[in-house]
Structure formats: C-alpha cells, structure tokens
Structure 1
Amino acid sequence: MISLGIESTAHTFGVGIVDDKGRVLANESKSFFPDEGIHPREAAVHHTNHAVSVINAALDSAKIDISDVDIVAFSQGPGLSPSLKVGAVTARTLALGLKKPILGVNHCIAHIEIGRMKTKAKDPIVVYVSGGNTQIT
C-alpha cells in the first residue's frame, strides 16, 4: 500500500509518500518565509501556487506514478485555517480524481505516532511541546 500525505498546517506545503512498511519514499516541501511573520492568507496563496510542483516532485522522488497511490491523507489540524483548507482541497481533489480513500490526520497525533513508530515503543509517555498545542499524553 502506498500513502500520499499532504502537510499544510502553517508555512510549509509538504508531501510525503510512504509504503505499508513505514518506509519513506519521498518527503518534499516548499516553505513560505515572509520578512515579517506569517499572514495566513499569504501562506495559503503560497501553498496554492506550489501544490502541484511539490506533489510532482514527491512522485518523482518516490519513482512512482500518481496511479500507484492507494490512499490520500492530509493534515486536518490544528493549524492556520487558510493553509489547512488548501491542503484539504488538494487532498480531496486527488482522492476524487483517483477514486481512492481519503484520511484526515491530526497534526499533533501524527508527530506522536511517528515517534512511537520509529522507537517501537509499546506504551510511551509522551510530552509534545509545540506552541499552543502542548500536550502530555
């Protein structure tokens, strides 16, 4: 199974492609770094302008065709609403066009799960520190 995931919670539009063994086949991104802070609408315009090229770069890096993708995932939140919307619409468009399932993912939980997967921890205690999303679980 090949999963294509879209990350668009704030200043970066990213695409990761992984297989069912957890191997990262591609990890491509384009970040928005204005001179003075991130304006949510400007970040969304950036993401819109770069979505197709980042997706294509990820497919090239993974050496797969878009038809090889089995599921499309996207960051559902938390994050900047306009940026999240670009990722969600992009993911929905891909999933509909490919006739593949779509999965919304909590950005914070994804960080925690990646740590658990990489360490093979069975029942970890996690301290997640990330601005307004800090959690102890």
Structure 2
Amino acid sequence: TAFRHSLLEAESLSADEVVAKRGRALAQFCGVDESYQDPDKSLVDLRSQGGEDAFMHRKFNALHTGVYVDIGCNDGIDGSNTYHFHRRGWQGVCVEADPFKFNQIYEHSMRRDGVNVAIAKR
C-alpha cells in the first residue's frame, strides 16, 4: 500500500526530509518528531517507546471502545503501544514471539489478550 511504502521510505530519511516530503503527520506517526510525545505527561499509562500510544490517544480519544492489534508487545506494559487502550476497555490481541516476554504479559499486566506467535513473511 501507499502508506506502507511511505513508512518504509521514512525509515531512510532524516526527520526534516520526512516532514518536507510526506508531511508532519507521517513524521509524527513514524516517531521522528518530538511533539509526538505526550507534552503534559498527564496520561500516566502511556508506555510505548516512541509515543505511538500518545499519538493514537489524540486521534481516537473520543472513542470509548475500539479494537487493537499489538505486534511485538513485549511484556504487555513496557513499550506497549496498546496498554493505554487495554486499560480503557478496548479489546484486541497482544502478539509476542519471545516465550519469556509472552509469559510476562499476564504476570505483569493481568492482560489476557496475549498470543505467543511470530509474525513473518512466508
């Protein structure tokens, strides 16, 4: 898709090049813009590495329910892009290939949405 191509292209560009070429929204989505982070740190359950959950919170804050898929969710909390939404009552699946990290999903976060599989191209 065009969006996937844009994400792949953004990985090889500097932040300024991404903003100039694809617009600020893509730069923020790819995590190359500092304003992407939660500016007031008021959302204490935001845990993603690059602020993806803060971005999604701003875009979908009006929705009280939703569905998510988190591929590579670590232990379900640290670095999780969906922990914030899980705590808000959203439903989804938390995919983690590492068996050790997968076992920590329920242990650390009481999440029951974990699936211990790897996602790869055939």
Normalised to the residue count of structure 1, the TM-score between the two structures is 0.29
Q: Which has the higher contact order (CA 8 A, sep 6+)?
A: 1
Normalised to the residue count of structure 2, the TM-score between the two structures is 0.31
